[in-house]
Amino acid sequence: MAAFYPFACNTDKAEKASQDNLQMALLNSIKAKARDSLSVKERFFAEHSEDLLSAANSIAKTYRQQGKLLTAGNGGSSCDAAHLAVEFMHPVTTGRRALPAVNLSQDTAMITAVSNDVGVEHVLTRQLSALAGKNDTLVVFSTSGNSANLVEACKKARSLGVNVIAFTGKTGGEIKARQLADTCLTVPSESIHRIQECHLACYHILWDLVHSILAETAPDKPAQENS
């Protein structure tokens, strides 16, 4: 009867104890993951604060020279690329002006066309050939630093004179080893989750830094555009 109507039977004490132990283990897991996430961020910012400021200065220079931001990533990192572009295009802080940013990972028709006709490694290089200018900055997100299309994008951007910023993880992969980025921000973790959590915190700070730098020479106009 218990197999068919478990709600009609008294809960076995051993089963209840097992469930209690599971819940406690899950709570401990939450706390451990939170500690690990904080630890990774603390180590990253201790090692890379100057690199982050350098990245912010280079993006500010791009905007001062009437350039634009280009972003790219794969999978979850494509969401980071989209998030960063939206932060600049639609500021959440009243009074900060919209700045041009294009996410190269969002055009499904373009990506599938190039993947089918030429190869997935060229889905970004084709767009860079058409859209990138010498005053632009490309920001790529790759937790491994080895994604073929992002490696090729960095190489193409460098050949076009475009500034490159790379958010990576683990050892930084090929992007870091081959020095394919002007600034490489590598999160010291093997966990994709921890890496992406740190990337998120990092580019929120980066966005704020860029606006603060630009305000020195081009103060934001009072605006309610996002209302």
Q: Which residue has the higher pLDDT, 95 or 100?
A: 100
Q: How confident is the model at residue 227 (pLDDT cuts 50, 70, 90)?
A: very low
Sign (positive or negative) of CA dihedral 189, 194, 195, 197: negative
Residue 10 has pLDDT above 60, yes or no: no
Distance CA 139, CA 65 (A): 17
Determine the average pLDDT of the residues in 192-206: 98
Cα separation of 143 and 153, whole Å?
15
pLDDT of residue 7: 52
Mean pLDDT of 15-24: 84
Side chain identity at residue 69, one-letter code: L
Q: Taking residues 113-142, what's their average pLDDT?
A: 97
Q: Minimal CA–CA distance to 160: which of 134, 181, 126?
A: 134
For every residue of 157-189, which 3-state class applies, written as one string? Answer: HHHCCCEEEEEEECCCHHHHHCCCCCEEEEECC
Residue 132, class by beta-carbon neighbours within 10 Å (0-12 exposed, 13-18 middle, 19+ buried)? buried
Distance CA 117, CA 25 (A): 50
Which pLDDT band holds residue 9 (cuts at 50, 70, 90)? low
pTM to 2 decimals?
0.85
Q: Among 50-59, 87-96, 145-154, 202-211, where is mean pLDDT lowest?
A: 87-96
Please state, for a pLDDT cut of 70, what percent of the chain lies above it: 89
**5, pLDDT greater than 60:** no
Q: Which residue has the tokens 């081959």?
A: 178
- Reported as a single tens digit per residue, the pLDDT across 131-148 is 999 999 999 999 999 999
* pLDDT tens sequence across 62-99: 999 999 999 999 999 999 999 999 999 999 887 899 99
Helix 13-64 vs helix 192-214: crossing angle, to nearest 10:
30
Q: What is 14-214's CATH superfamily?
A: Glucose-6-phosphate isomerase like protein; domain 1 (3.40.50.10490)
Can you tell me the distance from the alpha carbon of 115 to that of 93, in angstroms, rounded to the nearest whole number?
A: 38
Domain boundary assignment for the chain: 14-214
Write down the H helix ranges in the chain.
Answer: 13-64, 76-89, 108-117, 125-131, 148-159, 173-177, 192-214
pLDDT at 11: 59
